[in-house]
């Protein structure tokens, strides 16, 4: 089975827009997706990226225009400026990693954590929000939270972030197939073709 490394930030609106199509692509192409949450601010610091809040007004405005173009095309609706926008995503990332370490599938969990921020006006830096997401998915939230507090989860989070930079990743979402980086949910068609080739 082909392996696809998927590096994403749990604050990424674009990762949410690509989540369903990635899952469908993986199923259709029989691909194993390795979900790897990263500290995107660290990635930016090491690759020359600029956090959204520090970008020019023109760039911030264009992001909103692009989101509004994509939402109807994908049949999705998100709040482009949610109440709890881009909080500290480290706990959410370790929570997802904990689910993985405990042997649970994380595709839907990743999507629902993203949706909590961008669709449901929730603060994903809060443990109760993450526990609520897990409960809705039938996952053992308390056990996951306990595992997320262990050094192993933090080490894995750091490892994924280092891996991303080494692989050439500089933004979220990024999909890496056999060393080739596809940056952005708008590159999923190219990824699909590469997998089919």
Active site residues: 12
Distance between CA atoms of 16 and 39, rounded to whole angstroms? Answer: 16
Report long-range pairs for 103-107 (Cβ below 8 Å, ≥24 apart).
104/139, 104/144, 106/35, 107/19, 107/23, 107/33, 107/35
C-alpha torsion angle, residues 67, 72, 76, 82 (rounded to 10): 40
């Amino acid at each position: 089975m082909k392996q696809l490394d998927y590096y994403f930030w749990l604050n990424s609106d674009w990762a949410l827009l690509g989540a369903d199509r990635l899952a469908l692509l993986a199923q259709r192409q029989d691909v194993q997706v390795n979900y790897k949450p990263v500290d995107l601010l660290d990635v930016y610091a090491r690759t020359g990226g600029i956090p959204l809040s520090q970008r020019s007004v023109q760039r911030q405005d264009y992001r909103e225009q692009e989101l509004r173009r994509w939402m109807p095309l994908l049949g999705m609706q998100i709040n482009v400026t949610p109440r709890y926008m881009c909080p500290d995503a480290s706990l959410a990332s370790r929570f997802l990693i904990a689910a993985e370490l405990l042997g649970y599938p994380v595709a839907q969990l990743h999507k629902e954590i993203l949706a909590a921020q961008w669709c449901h006006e929730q603060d994903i830096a809060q443990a109760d929000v993450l526990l609520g997401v897990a409960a809705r998915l039938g996952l053992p939230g308390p056990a996951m939270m306990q595992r997320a507090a262990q050094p192993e989860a933090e080490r894995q989070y750091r490892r994924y972030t280092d891996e991303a930079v080494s692989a050439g990743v500089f933004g979220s979402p990024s999909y890496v197939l056999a060393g080739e980086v596809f940056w952005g949910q708008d590159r999923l068609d190219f990824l699909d073709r590469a997998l089919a080739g």
